[in-house]
Amino acid sequence: MAELRAQVCAGNQQLFEAGLVVWTGGNLSARDPETGLVAIKPSGMQYGQMRAEDMVVLDLDGNIVDGVRGPSSDTASHLRIYRLRPELRSIVHTHSNYASAFAAAGMAIPCCLTAIADEFGGPVPCGDYAPIGGTAIGDEVVRQLGRSPAILMKQHGVFTVGATIEKAIKAAVMVEDVAKTVSIAMGIGRVESLPAEEIAANFERYQQRYGTGSASVGVRS
């Protein structure tokens, strides 16, 4: 449990260092595969001040198992996703600017770049608006989850998921990166989707690398 907390704390700080979150916004959680418990960022704490012991540990019903602080106000959304998708081990939520701009406009990010096909396997979907605090956001994220590890939530922000903390962070970094490129492209010209066969070819190449068992599988260099 101490190790999970340390990893979750380090993961949250990585979001801040990558410029994906400001002030106390955003959060990362991870699930321990053995106990099923989830560690998540505490509520209202700035990233620079967080230490591993500030992380809050909960069960899937939201009972605090360990921790002196209150959990993130997005905790219910995280727990709902973990409950519905047992294979997931980490979830990230951000309001990163470029990806959230697509969310603000209620638009998916079109699959107009090889980097989007590689990482997301198609457009990055935008889920319907859902209120914060209950199960609605988790339900909508899971409803949208297909190939893409990133889901935009309309008029809210970004959720990413992964089989590891690193993969969830990677999806958060990559969705902001491609959202920036695509939003600039839409300002200077027209973007169009890659053909379905090219999307499939890029995504399959990625999946094959993903299955090799190396620590860096599935990561295009």
Name the residue nearer to a copy of itself (CB basis): 44 or 86.
Answer: 44
The residue within the footprint of a copy of itself, chosen from 150, 156, 159, 168 (CB under 8 A), is: 156
- Which stretch in 29-37, 59-67, 100-108, 143-151 sits in contact with a copy of itself by CB under 8 A? 100-108
Strands laid side by side in the 150-153 sheet: 64-66, 56-58, 38-40, 27-31, 90-94, 157-162, 150-153, 126-127
How far is it, in rounded angstroms, from Cα 205 to Cα 198? 11
- For residue 181 the two structure tokens come to 């490129």
Rounded Cα distance between 52 and 215, Å, is: 25
Identify the residue among 2, 65, 184, 196 touching a copy of itself (CB under 8 A). Answer: 184
57 binds a copy of itself (CB under 8 A): no
Euclidean distance between CA atoms 143 and 66, whole angstroms: 31
Cα–Cα–Cα angle for 69, 74, 77, nearest 5°? 130
Say whether residue 45 binds a copy of itself (CB under 8 A).
yes
Which one, 147 or 193, has the nearer CB to a copy of itself?
Answer: 193
C-alpha span between 81 and 74 (Å, rounded):
11
Q: Does 201 interact with a copy of itself (rule: CB under 8 A)?
A: yes
Binding site for a copy of itself (CB under 8 A): 22-27, 41-45, 70, 72-74, 95, 97-98, 100-107, 112-115, 129, 131-133, 155-157, 170, 173-174, 177, 180-191, 194, 198, 201-202, 205, 209, 214-221
